[in-house]
């Protein structure tokens, strides 16, 4: 079943490549390069899944997910940390912020698709 997926990463090349891969798999994907853009996109796109990097230019991925979780329209969205900084401290902070799962970059395709 196709999903609406939001990719939040300040590295546009990474986000665009993942979006293309997910669209090839039949999903709808939108990208945002920072937290503020992600808040705008999420409000209109209503993603079922958000893949969020931890280090964003304007806020942490944890701060972003905490804000997104306040929106009742996004109450069914699953949040997955997708970061190169997946050390135990970041994973604990991600869990406290409301992430459902953590994946490390570079992500394996089967791990990514298992989140869908």
Split into its structural domains, the chain has a count of: 1
> Can you spell out the DSSP letters for 32-68?
ESSHHHHHHHHHHH--SEEEE-SB-SSSBHHHHHHHH
User: Whose CA is closest to 35, among 74, 3, 67?
Assistant: 67
Residue 113, domain member (yes or no): no
Predicted TM-score of the model (pTM): 0.94
pLDDT digits (tens, 9 = 90+) for 58-104: 999 999 999 999 999 999 999 999 988 778 888 999 999 999 999 98
Which of the 8 DSSP states describes residue 79? E
| Cα 46 to Cα 60: distance, rounded to the nearest angstrom | 20
**Domain holding 20: CATH number?**
3.40.50.2300
Contacts of 23 (CB under 8 A, 6+ apart): 29
| Domain ranges, residue 93 | 4-107
Q: Is residue 99 part of a domain?
A: yes
């Amino acid at each position: 079943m196709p999903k609406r997926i939001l990719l939040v990463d300040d590295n546009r090349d990474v986000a665009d490549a993942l979006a293309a891969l997910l669209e090839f798999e039949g999903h709808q994907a939108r990208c945002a390069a920072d937290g503020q853009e992600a808040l705008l996109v999420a409000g209109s796109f209503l993603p079922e899944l958000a893949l969020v990097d931890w280090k964003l230019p304007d806020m942490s991925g944890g701060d972003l997910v905490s804000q997104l979780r306040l929106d009742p329209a996004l109450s069914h969205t699953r949040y997955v940390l997708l970061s190169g900084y997946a050390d135990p401290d970041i994973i604990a902070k991600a869990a406290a912020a409301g992430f459902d799962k953590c994946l490390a970059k570079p992500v394996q395709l089967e791990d990514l698709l298992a989140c869908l």
